[in-house]
Structure 1
Amino acid sequence: MKNHLFLAISIFYIISIPSYSQNQSNNNFKEEAKTIEELAIKSLKIRQQVNPESEDQELIKEMKYLDSTLLHKVPIFLNEYGWKSKKEIGELANMGLFLAIQHSSTEEMESFKEILEQAYYTNKIEKSKYALYIDRLRVRNKMPQIYGTQYYYDEESSSFRFNKIEDFENVNKRRRKVGLKRIEKYAKQNKIALD
């Protein structure tokens, strides 16, 4: 009888331990995704107040702090869970993953390239976001952008200008493939000179 009781208790623990650790892992995943979501919301709110001519150093400082905090959390999350789609973690947490990478240093952006490529090819990241990532990385590496998503403020002309675009004549074909509007419309909405 004692042997049967010991066996029953042993089986109960063997069965319940993996279930407990799986629940714990699921809770950690949800908590980490929620933290990334909250940081993304704060970052997006501040970004709405900061523009290229902004001189509010406190806002810029807070934005940089949020960027670095997000960037600290994102690699840990990605190493543990991989890239998660909007459906898996929610739109804002997914945006947080992207924002952290998009506003990191060139070296850090490069380190995420394989993860983002895999997310792109498995449809876990929007094509338009992937295009933004590719363009920014190329511009930072002093290469012409492909999709025409990156621009800068030109002090001399006091206007926004596109960074160099590869094969400009076909840029709208490439933009259409990734779900971006025509470059002329994008330029008009963002007051970017097209000359």
Structure 2
Amino acid sequence: MNKYYIISVLVVFLVSSCKKKANDYGVIKSRLEKVLIEDQKYRNPIYDPIKQNPIDAKNLTIVTHIIDSLGWLGKDKIGNDANLALFAVIQHANTLAVMEKYLPVMKEAAKKGDADKRQLAYLIDRVELANNRKQIYGTQYAVDEKGKVYFNDLLDSANVNSRRKSMNLYPIEDYIRKIDSSAGDRK
């Protein structure tokens, strides 16, 4: 057989198998749905870092490989839970470098409708606070010794609700009520 024929057949086979893998979102969807369950395993109701951190490291390897290979896959390709897994694992990454690496990828995906703008707001705020800057959307809160919710380092709090609205988040007062029923009278 002609060596060019063999090479041509191998190239066609490799390209078609790569395309098949790239378009086989069912396998990816299933794996990411499992990743989402594992992401929450020792996080709720009480976070146990000794049990959760090794799971997070494994999940991060899976998610970054998928994003690096195929980009940020939208709900239309992998469904809501699998799409949520991409965000949750990056949001829970234990290094700022990982969050910063994938933040622009998620921003671009949000512009295309492949990532949720609300989730993007959470990642942006987490990155801002980790860099000792003020959070933009007021998604990251703390709880004082009396169990009251408060927001550290919030940029221009008078205009936070307009920024939140641009990311499809409800007003911060409603957010506070949701996470702290006793905060209903705070403004």
How many Å separate the matches in 2 of 1:137 and 1:20? 37
| Cα offsets for 1:29-70 (capped at 9, x unmatched) | 54344222202123235433226xxxxxxx443322222211
Corresponding residue for residue 44 of structure 1: 40
Q: 1:41 to 1:160 in 2, by over 3 A?
A: same
Residue-pair matches, total: 179
Aligned match for 1:71, one of 53, 60, 63: 60
- TM-score, L = length of structure 2: 0.81
**2: CA distance, partners of 1:41 / 1:158:** 28
SS in 1 for 2:77: helix
CA distance in structure 2 between the aligned counterparts of 1:139 and 1:24, rounded to whole angstroms: 38
* SS, match of residue 114 in structure 2: coil
Give the C-alpha shift of residue 181 in structure 1: 0.9
Distance 1:96 1:114 in 2: 17
SS at match of 1:48: coil
What SS does the corresponding residue of 1:143 show, helix, strand or coil? coil
Given the alignment of the two structures, is residue 172 of structure 1 paired with residue 161 of structure 2, yes or no?
yes
Paired residue for 1:86, among 62, 69, 75? 75
- Residues 107 and 25 (structure 1), Cα distance of their counterparts in 2 relative to 1, 3 Å cut: closer
Query: Matched residue of 2:43: which SS?
Result: helix
- Matches of 2:167 and 2:18, distance apart in 1: 40
Distance 1:162 1:20 in 2: 50
Indicate the structure (1 or 2) with the bigger Cα radius of gyration: 1
Q: Which runs of 4+ in 1 moved over 4 A?
A: 13-16, 192-195
What's the TM-score, normalizing by structure 1? 0.78
Q: 1:21 to 1:143 in 2, by over 3 A?
A: closer
- The structure-2 alpha-carbon separation of the partners of 1:174 and 1:21, relative to structure 1 and needing over 3 Å to count, comes to closer
1:110, CA displacement in angstroms? 0.9
Task: Name the SS of the counterpart of 1:165 in structure 2.
Answer: coil
Aligned mate of 2:92, from 99, 103, 110? 103
Give yes or no for the alignment of 1:182 onto 2:171: yes
Judge conservation of contact 2:39–2:59 (CA < 8 Å) in 1: no
Work out which of the residue numbers 15, 28, 31 in structure 1 matches 2:27. 31
Aligned partner of 1:128 among 118, 127, 142? 118
Unaligned runs of 5+ in 2: none
State the 1:14 CA deviation.
7.4
Residues 92-126 of structure 1: CA deviation (Å, up to 9, x unaligned):
11111101110112121111122112112222111
1:135 touches 1:150 (CA, 8 Å); kept in 2? yes
SS at match of 1:179: coil
Partner of 2:140: 150
Distance 1:190 1:158, change over 3 A: closer
Unaligned runs of 5+ in 1: 1-5, 52-58
Contact 2:91–2:99 (CA<8 Å) still a contact in 1?
yes
Amino acid at match of 2:99: M
